[in-house]
Structure 1
Amino acid sequence: MAKTALSFYNLVPLCGIFLFSGLSADRHGFTFCGLSLQAQTTSQTSFGKNRVQYHHQFDDWSLYETPNFTTYWYGDARNVAHSALQMAEFDFPAVQQLLEHQLTDKIEILVFSDLTDLKQSNIGEDDVFLLSSGETKVVGNKVFIFFDGDHRHLRAQIREGIAGVLINSMLYGANLQEIVSNAVLLNLPTWYTSGLTAYCGEEWTPKDDDRLRDLLQTGRYKTFDKLAREHPRFAGNAFWHYISTHFGPGTVSNLLYLTRINRSVDNGFFYILGSGYRRTTEAMLEHYKKIYREEARGQKTPNEAGKVVVKNRKKLPLSPLKISPDGKKIAWASNDIGKWKVYVQDLETGKRRRVLKGGARNALQATDYNYPKLAWNPDNQRLAILYERRDVVRLANIDLTTHKKELSDLSPEFQRVFSMDYITPSEIALSAAVKGQSDLFVYRTITRQTERLTNDFWDDLDVSVATVDGHKSLLFASNRSTDTLSFQRLDTILPIASFDIFLFDLENRSPELIRITETPLFDERNPIGLDSAHFAYLSDESGVINRQVGMLEPFVAYHQAVIYLKDGSEVKALDMSQPTAWPLARILTLLAPLDTVLKNIDSTQIDSIKSAPIFKKKPRVWNSTNYDRNIQEQHSSPCTGRIVEGIKRGKKVFFYQNTIDPKITVLAKTTRWREQTLRAAGLSLPPQPPLEAVPQTPDKQSDKSDDLPLPLSSPDSLPYIEPGWLIQIPDYLAVPGQRIEPDPSRAPETKTEDKIEPPNEINTDSMVLTPPRRPLKKPSTQFGKNGEIVRFYSFKIIPYRLRFRTDYVSTTMDNNQLFEGLQLYEGPQSRLLQPPPGVLLRANFKDLLENYVIEAGFRLPTTFNGAEYYLWMDDKKKRLDKRYVLYRRTLVTSRLRGSSGAPNLPPDFQERTTTLMGQYELRYPLDVFTSLRATFGLREDKVRALSSDIITLALPDRAEQRASVRLAAVFDNSVDVDLNLKTGTRAKVYTDLVKGFAFNTEPNWSLKLNNGFMTVVGFDARHYQMLDRRSQLALRFAGATSFGSEKMLYILGGVDNWVFPKFNENITLPADDGFAYQAPAVNLRGFKQNIRNGNTFALMNAELRVPVFKYFFKKPVIGNFWRNFQIVGFFDAGTAWQGKSPYSFDNPINTQFLIRPTQGPIISTMKVNYFRDPIVMGYGVGLRSVIFGLYLRADYAWGIESRQIQKPMLHIALGTDF
């Protein structure tokens, strides 16, 4: 049998492999490069996830230019872009000062109107690893941000994005040479970099403090490594907060610098802190444990008698929580990384019922916990559920009695709804985003009309309907600096102040709001009504989010003088002779001073002047709980006085119901972190509750004293506090030596302080009241000095124009089957040719938005035979994605002359096969994981004999031309956990329709269809199951069949990308000319290629992948070889056959022709039939790792054929497993 020229590469030294890195460099490190279009029958079949564009606003992008940033936006995201670019320029100097690093290029910020739009973007579609909730996405010098109704969160995203770009530049360099060098030598743990960007994004918050307290008190985390392994981003944030607090913010940049210089995290710790990584992290954990242990002595747990038993075995997030108006039922929603379910539970019987479900699990993108929203109708019989489906906000009204469901879509102007509550059975109060502004609306369900209540750039969230002092009102949280509603555009005041509680009277619709709180250091959220007089909200004043209760009382704001003229008219003025409790500047916007008015009036026309007090309402608030965990949310039933609250402890959310007395006041324990912020602001600490001894309870997980037992006391055990002033708040505005820094969230005009009147004589039924809050000063932050607020002109819009950049240029060594991987079949002498290892040069270009991607590549084999060229372009701007492909390959092979050859000539000659292929692919995504695809292709295989004698010179050229259509349905929700480790499922069902044709240009243009027609139907399904945090079980099932006048020949046996392939000559190939192409069917280890063949195949693979060295080290394994080293146990089973069944008597594998004699003239030919089991199996063990930048696989396998174990065989291949 003649050998092909391919066998020559076995003799070529593979030292060329080591000259080229198998990695491609970009600004984010190194990733393995692999082509996406592969043969359908190999284990490298392409799958892929999708980005779905539900609207056309992405068609037109614009940009703003500022000194350090280029901000891109589209459509309704314009207002978000305005605030984003101002906050970016404002915070840029502070982040630079913190990290002590400068950039030479501008940072590009891409602004999206909400999280749903961000997830529709094509940018970063090829990223392998996850984007967790709350994490800002950074690609190169591009930062992606979205608006969720809170400008402070938008600011945190911007700061985090700036920090991410600066840290990447600082650690890995700014040019390609530095990136390649540092990425290879500097392998930083995830917690180090992601935690640092989170630390730079936002200061330590009560939510962070509560989360760390909760994690450490579980007793699960004895070492920082374990905490960092399970919560890398948060653990890193806590670590950098600890370093900054104890060693100063300048230590952060020093650690970064020395880490880069020494290329070691531990050396940086030793030189800067004087102790290594281990001692520093141990000291950090001990520090926090001690603090939380001391704090627990003054904190309480909720009353266990009020706990609501809720089934939540998966420990999913449960939110929102709503109690029915009659206080008998609660409704809540669970969210399983995007798949949500709404339940209603009877509080008396405990029975629950699922009323609606929606969404889909999505582990690839940040989970949207904003939806669904719930609201009980005042009639107690209907539950409103507001959710989002395909970027459309939908309202479902569920009748709990008849189980009927009414669906309606909200107006498209609502980009996102943040909260809702019923005003009347036909009116709903909404807090929603419209054109990048979060405002309040009233939605009428019958007419589907909307009334806008606020229209400004301030954030209005957490809207709730309550009856206060007999008036139906809206309570909401806002960061506004003014109490009067008016149309306001963003100028030089940024809406980044803390949230306060405001009241809007729905009955008189006065634009003058009642400010419930004014606390620049603290946040108040989630207001609710308790009864006809009292309301409550959640406050982080103590450092833990507790409940505070309040009421309104009248007071004399100022005195108004009325001048009665003789003609009967009246003139109103401000009586300056009387004291004023309102800010004078605010009063003067309404009334002029009396003396000024009198100067402009003829005194002879004045009849009389009378002065009368003007009464306003002011709040009195007090603390109601002293919990050891944050209250996540709360809701009430004012008619029954019941309140429900959700508190997270560990990984589980617990619900509690209580009937509270709003008059009871409780002292709240101030946490150590809150004490630090108060001292930084020059403020004194409020009174503290008495400390109690913590009862010693047995710890199931550890007997160390560091594991903090939970306090068991209840708020009900607190003694009743007699009426009187509970908390005396000093005059914070008169702190000696306190420097007041400009606050960008407050108006620059001069303000007059509020004067507090003595308490009026009002019957409060012995209620404990506290004086109104005075404005507190903002302490200096850890971030250093901010820049100035940039004043820009919004009309200076620059339209975005398409421009491409080089995404990467890579040089890799591989032997993948490019594109279809199909080869012509020309009879029994044909051999399946595995591409030899070759140098693949690739250049990839993308536009800024990654809607268009162009890639050109060239592969030169080590045999210098079989050069391949390709060019493809993706157009992903619309929902229907398109791909255009051109591919060319030239391969020289040997071919036997046959019996008619001249005796004095060599037994074989050489042919050059030139394959030219063009493809046009359409991909329609149904969702992130599922897509329908159609690929139209033209292919020409031109075979020309290389003239070496008179016979080959006379041989005519052969050309085979075929048109094909491939239809496929693809599902892929797999996630790359690590290199060669995935989790999830991938599946593809496809069919190919192939038709031959003849197209000639000489002597005349002609086109005619040939008789051949081929149909292929196949599938490939894979599932990856993590057994623990390191090892996994991978399963694959694949099969295909071809039929028609032409067929596909599947060659079973061997492995993908086999470096030294071997072909089984004992099993004959069919002589039938009905086969057009041949393709490999792999993996089936333990055998050579062609252990079975036919027009149908079925295959099963199972692998157990164990990264052994990760079990031996608690710290991240250093070094590509050791970190990616895996031991793999595998089992393969498969078959290929012709006909209807592999067990058919006419199966060619059971037939052999004996020709006698073997040399000389043939005397006789005998056909022998015998049994050979069509199913073959293989099992064994393999090793995987990265060597010289190449991912190598070595499998030692035993084959099983006809129930006999064969001799073991070693397979060495390139690339990852299936």
Structure 2
Amino acid sequence: MLFRVQLITFLFIGFTSVVYAQFYNGTKMDFGKNRVQFSDYLWSHYKYEHFNIYFYEDGKHLADYAARSAQLQLKELEFQFEYQFKGKIQFVIYNTQNQSRESNIGNYPDEDLNPGGFARIIGDKVFLFFDGDHQHFDRQIRNGVAQILLDNIIFGDGTDEFKNEALINFPDWFYNGLTAYLTEKWSVEIEGEVKSHFQSGKFGKFNWLRGREAVLAGRSVWYYIADFYGEEAVSNVLYMSKISRSYSDGILFVLGKSVDNLLQDWEGYFQSRFMLDNQSKTNPEKNNVFKRPYKSRDYQRPKLNKSGSHLALVTHKLSQHKVYVYDIQKKKKKCVLKIGHKIDLPPDHSFPVLAWHPSGDLLTVFFEQKGKMIWMTYNTKTHEKTTSKLFQLEKILEANYASNGKKIALSAVVKGKTDIYILDVLSRFQEQITNDFYDDRDPIFLNQDSKIIFSSNRINDTMRVDGNMNYVYPHNYDLFQYNYSAKKSYKFQYQVLLRLSSTTHANEHSPYSMGLNTYHYLSDQNGVNNLWSGKIDSAVTHVDTTIHYRYFAQVQPMSNYNSNILWHHSNGKDWVRIFRPIDRNRIHISSIVNKPLEVQSTTDFMNFLNSDPVDSTPKIRSMDNVKILTVDSIKNRMIKDPDFLFTDYYIFRDEMDKQFNDSVIEVVKQSSNTAFQPLKINGFPTSDSLAPRAKQRNYELSFRTAEVSLDVDNRFLNPVYQRFSGGASYPMPGMNGFMKYSIIDLLEDHLITGGFRISDFYSHEFFLSYANRKKRLDKQILLYRSTHTDLDDISNVEKNIIYEGVYRLDYPFSIVDRISASISVRYDQRIPLSKNINLLKTPISHQFWPTARVSYVFDNTRSLGVNLLTGLRCKLFTEFYQEVPVVENRMLTFGADIRTYKKIYKSLIWANRFAGGSSIGTQRLMFYMGGVDSWVLPKFNQKLEPSKLMHGNYAFQTLATNMRGFIQNARNGSSFIAVNSEIRWPVLKFLFSRPFSSDFLNNLQCVGFADVGTAWSGSSPFSEDNSLNQQTLVIGEEARTGEIRLKTNKEPIIGGGGFGIRSSIFGYFVRADWAWGIEDGIPQERQFYLSLTADF
């Protein structure tokens, strides 16, 4: 950390900032997160008919599995929607989630800066990683396939189709909820989360839901639709929503109900269901270990030491993980490890992994950092920490010590397989216990370390059978026992395992030793994760020369909670468990009471699974209607009525010429009394066959379209400082269109972008950029040309041409901060136009400005909606300009832009900004303060003269915004400071608990703001030498026989305040502000601003 600070300080003092960086044109800054590459991967791929699979070292098993699973998922979803996918899906597989964060896929740094008209070619990539559980891996595959299939159904299946959010825009709960429902319709875990959200009242404010909560609510809505109206209603609602371009109309046409009525029925359906389920169950204990656990954190992996004096657990908040050690007697907790940042990234709940040494004083923590597995030990007495790297294992999922403390039982991932290992603490030797494609989890030692109990989805208790084949296996987990004492050497040996449980729809997991042949574990056999007890017993089978025994497990339920036990642990005396019955965790510790329950009631969902409704439902065969129609008759109807859709066959206008060459169509349509298709919960499809054989090929660099941006605004494409105009004006490009086109390789390591703007016959811009982001040090080359003709100055009409070449380097320290450096050469050409005879004699001027820039960026903000952020972002920069060959002409600029966003309540945001900049040297930078950024009809104050410089001249000029209540050039100088504060209130979204179908209404915001600032030249704004305090009156007008200098003593600091409205219109974020300025303590006339920009 000290080295980082020293490096930043050195570069900040010595050099300067970066492209798209400084106050080139108001408030626009290149903030954003980073992708940090710690390793260099060698990529390969498989080619199949409907998809390609890309993977790297040690990922071959995952690629083989994904090939078979993807084929099964695609066939099932195609059948459900009666749609044949014609494209090709690109699966990109990372071995771990931590490694997947190094990927550049989806890293478009300027996407949030584009105010509207954003269009991206429909993606065909599915991003996968393996967390040690093939069920989660299947879930990712199915989610990606479902999302691409829905995109093709809604937006078209051609490679030239555009996904434009301004044309079809479904809310998160509708679209992402449907994707989640198709991924996994329902499960015990999903039902537990939905129940928790209903009981906490979170679903009561439907319009406030965002992110994961919106997806969860949407999934439950689609589940209700399928259960109450039948499975066919899901696809019908989707198709009708596509046709009408409105999800509310689609729901109304198919279900006959408005969205509000549907949500009321959905809420009543689940409330009554959960009320019945809870009647015969007990509530979790209310007394917490912590007085008030934070509701925004997930508490996981609790571990009690042997004596019960300390509790260790893991907390997750967004993507930040912490490990706490809690002294139960002193009631004090200490954070012993913190990893990650509080930003919007999919959290990785697979680590840190905790294990107490039997001594009770040493806590072992396994976690992943910078692509490596780290082993940390914390001493509770001395508070010392020791860390070391652990090799050969890609990921550790669970860990438990042996009773003597010399060995650790691990569930770990190696080459895409999750197996059981025994780690020798002293030698670090890793002894493999299982070696197959089943997922083996939660290992513990039993009976003085002679046995190992673990949870697995294996279908056979003989280790040699089936597991050597990379099939798509069922995902239900059972408990098995391995005889560790019978293992004769460190080499892997096959055994016949003892099956301790065998349930059809339930999962048994998280066992803990409770003594000789006794263990406790969690099971969802009754539809809720509850505690069960198991005891291994034996019976005589037969007697010959010896007595033969049959071993089995006797199991009994120990709890009947109405809320899932999410995590638990026992040291043999005390039992700790974590619930989340409402909006915050409950962590409870109690002594173990070995009192089995006689009856454990079952939930409605588990009864539904056990009853197998698919087979018990009678199949009603409906009569079919057959129609013979001509293609010409359909085309004629479409010509007469542009909105006509042939619903018998779902034929669209643009599909007529593509699909039908014959003149006659035979249409088979089911009659209106079609049989009701009940909801089916089949789980993931399985297969006992391998993926088709495919040749492994090396990854070859090829490019495809990444982004097409057709936009209208008044910004420069590549903002640079303008040449100083003498204080007469600040030329803007005006409202005009520009186009930007990007191509990218599959892994998105190489990005080529080009664009142009043609505003009129006198001004235009072109740029071309190449970025290489494969390594940790990102490289970029930019070429830029602009032509601008200043027609405002009648006496001197010039054409200004700028050429610039930039080479830029970005080095990320972490995902939230980076340092950037660049060198560039700028060539300015000023051509006087032949307006009169004097201009013909004026020579063309040429200037060359080599430049160096350095900047530091920090950004940990999170998005709560359009123009709604929380967190902190800042930028510190400096830059050095040197004219060639005029050595004495040089300029050094430096500045900062710091922005904080605080959530007051729900989506009500308080945003603040501090910005300041200055320039020194023989050449200076002129700051014009006043107005707003991207002002549609800017006004410039020509009465205020440029601030006089004691030494040097002005070479460039730029804007210093925001200063609402004034027009541009209310203050000017070579330095400025501005403070902006806003309250952003999304009115309708805040007041109403139901969503709107209109983007304008959903994103409508009322804003109250205040701005304070000043610009000056000299040592301070209050200096008498500041030109603001002096006014020159010329005597004799053009003859200029003399002049009078007046000291005005004006207040240099100005301020303004007012209110504004913001919202999205046709995909553009539009701002309207009414402001009143205050100068010298006197309120000024109201100013109105219309602008196209987000944030400040």
Pair in the same fold by TM > 0.5: yes
2:591 maps to a residue whose letter is T
Q: Which residue of 1 aligns with 2:79?
A: 97
Structure 2 equivalent of residue 800 of structure 1? 699
Q: Report the residue type matching 2:536 in the other structure.
A: L
Partner of 2:829: 942
The equivalent position to 1:954 in structure 2, one of 838, 841, 859, is 841
Alignment of 1:149-188 (within 5 A): 149-175=132-158, 179=162, 183-188=165-170
Whichever residue aligns with residue 986 of structure 1, its letter is R
Which runs of 5 or more structure 1 residues have no equivalent in the other structure? 1-34, 130-137, 560-609, 685-778, 897-906, 999-1008
Q: State which of 425, 433, 443 in structure 2 corresponds to 1:453.
A: 433
Matched position secondary structure for 2:748: coil
Shift of 1:1081: 0.9
Counterpart residue number, 1:539: 523
Amino acid of the structure 1 residue aligned with 2:440: D
The match for 2:1058 is 1180
- Give the conservation status (yes or no) of the 8 Å contact 1:895–1:911: no
Cα distance in structure 1, aligned partners of 2:130 and 2:727: 65
Is 1:680–2:612 an aligned residue pair? Answer: yes
Question: Structure 1 pair 249/358, CA: closer, same or farther in 2 (3 Å)?
Answer: same
Contact 2:199 2:581 in 1 (8 A): no
Counterpart residue number, 1:1068: 945
Query: Residue type matched to 2:309 in 1?
Result: K
Q: Matched residue of 2:959: which SS? A: strand
1:43 is matched with which residue: 11, 17, 27?
27
TM-aligned CA deviation for residue 526 of structure 1? 0.3
Gaps of 5+ in 2: 1-18, 113-120, 488-492, 617-677
Which residue of structure 2 aligns with residue 308 of structure 1?
289
Aligned CA distance change for structure 1 residues 1013 and 224 (closer, same or farther; 3 Å): closer
What is residue 1080 of structure 1 aligned with on the other side?
Answer: 959
Question: In the alignment, is the contact (CA less than 8 A) between 1:339 and 1:357 conserved in 2?
Answer: no
Deviation at 1:680, TM superposition (A): 0.1
Q: Secondary structure at the match of 2:561?
A: coil
Cα distance change, pair 555–409 in 1 and its aligned pair in 2 (3 A): same
In the TM superposition, what is the alpha-carbon distance from 1:1025 to its structure 2 partner? Answer: 2.1
Secondary structure at 2:1037's aligned position in 1? coil
Measured in 2, the distance between the counterparts of 1:550 and 1:401 equals 36
Structure 1 residue corresponding to 2:971, chosen from 1092, 1103, 1106: 1092
* 8 Å contact kept, 1:989–1:1018: yes
1:936-1015 superposed matches below 5 A: 936-948=823-835, 950-998=837-885, 1010-1015=887-892
What TM-score, normalized to structure 1? Answer: 0.78
Partner residue of 1:1207 out of 1066, 1072, 1085: 1085
Do the aligned partners of 1:1024 and 1:1033 also contact (CA within 8 Å) in 2? yes
Give RMSD over aligned pairs. Answer: 2.8
Q: In the aligned structure 2, how far is the partner of 1:287 from the partner of 1:910?
A: 73
The answer to which of 203-212 and 1189-1198 deviates more is: 1189-1198
Q: Percent identity between the aligned chains?
A: 30
**Structure 2 counterpart SS, 1:216:** helix
Q: Is 2:17 aligned against 1:83?
A: no
Partner of 2:585: 653
How much has 1:221 moved relative to structure 2?
Answer: 4.4
Q: 1:943 to 1:521 in 2, by over 3 A?
A: same
- 2:228 corresponds in structure 1 to 246
Match for 2:778 among 881, 886, 899? 881
Select which of 471, 474, 477 maps to 1:496. 474
| Paired AA for residue 170 in structure 1 | I
1:996–1:794 distance in 2 versus 1, CA, 3 Å: farther
3-state DSSP class of the match of 2:892?
A: strand
Say if 1:669 and 1:261 are closer, same or farther in 2 by CA, change over 3 A: same
- Residues 299-340 of structure 1, C-alpha deviation per residue, up to 9 Å, x if partnerless? 123456x85345424452111111111233322122222333
2:707 touches 2:741 (CA, 8 Å); kept in 1?
yes
Structure 1 pair 271–956 and aligned structure 2 pair: CA distance change class (3 A): closer
Are the aligned partners of 2:46 and 2:52 in contact in 1 as well (CA < 8 Å)?
yes
Q: Pick closer, same or farther for the CA change 1:148–1:367 going to 2, 3 Å.
A: same
The correspondence of residues 699-848 of structure 1 with structure 2, limited to 5 A, is 781-782=680-681, 791-792=690-691, 796-825=695-724, 828=726, 830-848=728-746
Determine which of 770, 786, 795 is the counterpart of 1:908. 795
Q: Alignment partner of 2:418: what SS? A: strand
CA contact (8 A) 2:1050 2:1080 kept: yes
Q: What is the distance in 1 between the residues matched to 2:976 and 2:1057?
A: 19
Mean CA deviation greater in 315-324 or 332-341 = 332-341
Matched position secondary structure for 2:376: strand
TM-superposed CA distance for 1:949, in Å, is: 5.1
Deviation at 1:849, TM superposition (A): 1.2
**Of the candidates 841, 854, 857, which is equivalent to residue 755 of structure 2?**
857
In structure 2, what is the Cα distance between the partners aligned to 1:1118 and 1:893?
Answer: 45
For 1:886 and 1:110, the matched residues in 2 are separated by 32
Relative to 1, partners in 2 of residues 1:223 and 1:1195: Cα closer, same or farther, differing over 3 Å? Answer: closer
Cα offset, 1:272, TM superposition: 2.9
Could you tell me how far apart the structure 1 residues matched to 2:965 and 2:870 are? 27
Tell me if the contact between 1:355 and 1:398 (Cα under 8 Å) persists in the aligned partners.
Answer: no
Measure, in 2, the Cα distance between the counterparts of 1:250 and 1:1085: 55
Instruction: Give the number of the structure whose alpha-carbon radius of gyration is greater.
Output: 1
SS in 2 for 1:266: helix
Equivalent residues of 1:834, 1:1058 under 8 A apart: no
Task: Supply the distance in 2 between the matched residues of 1:106 and 1:975 (Cα, whole angstroms).
Answer: 33
Q: Residue 345 of structure 1 aligns to which amino acid in structure 2?
A: Y
Q: How many residues get paired?
A: 1000
* Structure 2 residue corresponding to 1:414, chosen from 393, 396, 413: 393
State the alpha-carbon separation in 1 of the partners of residues 264 and 351 from structure 2.
40
User: Are the counterparts in 2 of residues 124 and 139 from structure 1 also a CA contact under 8 Å?
Assistant: no
Structure 2 counterpart SS, 1:1018? strand
For the structure 1 residues 789 and 911, does the alpha-carbon distance in structure 2 shift closer, same or farther, using more than 3 Å as the test? Answer: farther
Q: Which residue type is aligned with residue 834 of structure 1?
A: M
Q: 1:955: Cα distance to partner? A: 2.3
Query: How far did 1:384 drift?
Result: 1.1
Alignment of 1:384-783 (within 5 A): 384-411=364-391, 413-423=392-402, 424-467=404-447, 472-486=450-464, 491=469, 493-509=471-487, 511-512=494-495, 513-556=497-540, 611-638=545-572, 641-662=573-594, 664-680=596-612, 781-782=680-681
Whole-Å separation in 1 of the counterparts to 2:734 and 2:311: 66
Confirm whether residue 73 of structure 1 aligns to residue 55 of structure 2: yes
1:1109 pairs with one of 965, 988, 991: 988
Distance in structure 2 (CA, Å) of the matches to 1:856 and 1:995: 28
1:53 maps to 2:45:
no
Query: For residue 331 of structure 1, what is the aligned residue in structure 2?
Result: 312
Deviation digits for residues 71-94 of structure 1 (CA, Å, limit 9, x no counterpart)? 111122222111111111122211
Whichever residue aligns with residue 344 of structure 1, its letter is: V
Q: Do the aligned partners of 2:728 and 2:942 also contact (CA within 8 Å) in 1?
A: no
Aligned with 1:1141 (options 1000, 1020, 1041): 1020
**Residue 514 of structure 1, CA deviation:** 1.9
Q: Secondary structure at the match of 1:240?
A: helix
CA 1:139–1:372: 2 relative to 1, 3 Å: farther
Secondary structure, counterpart of 1:258 in structure 2: helix
Give SS of 1:652's match: coil
Structure 1 residue matching 2:148: 3-state secondary structure: helix
Alignment match, 2:643: none
Q: Which amino acid aligns with 1:1079?
A: T
Structure 2 CA distance, aligned partners of 1:964 and 1:307? 61
Q: Give the 3-state SS of the residue equivalent to 2:59 in structure 1.
A: helix
Equivalent in the alignment of 2:816? 929
- Would you say the 8 A contact 1:394–1:407 is kept in 2? yes
Match of 2:176 among 187, 194, 205: 194
* 1:420 Cα deviation after fit: 0.4
In the TM superposition, residue 107 of structure 1 has moved relative to its aligned partner by: 1.5
C-alpha displacement of 1:213: 2.3
In structure 2, the CA distance between the partners of 1:551 and 1:780, relative to structure 1 (3 Å rule), is farther
Deviations 1:109-153 (CA, angstroms, capped at 9, x unpaired): 111112112222111123879xxxxxxxx9722111211111011
Question: 1:889-946 deviations in whole A, cap 9, x for unaligned?
Answer: 11223597xxxxxxxxxx7242221100111111111111100100111101011222
Q: What SS is found at the alignment partner of 2:905?
A: coil
Distance 1:217 1:386 in 2: 35
Shift of 1:507: 2.2
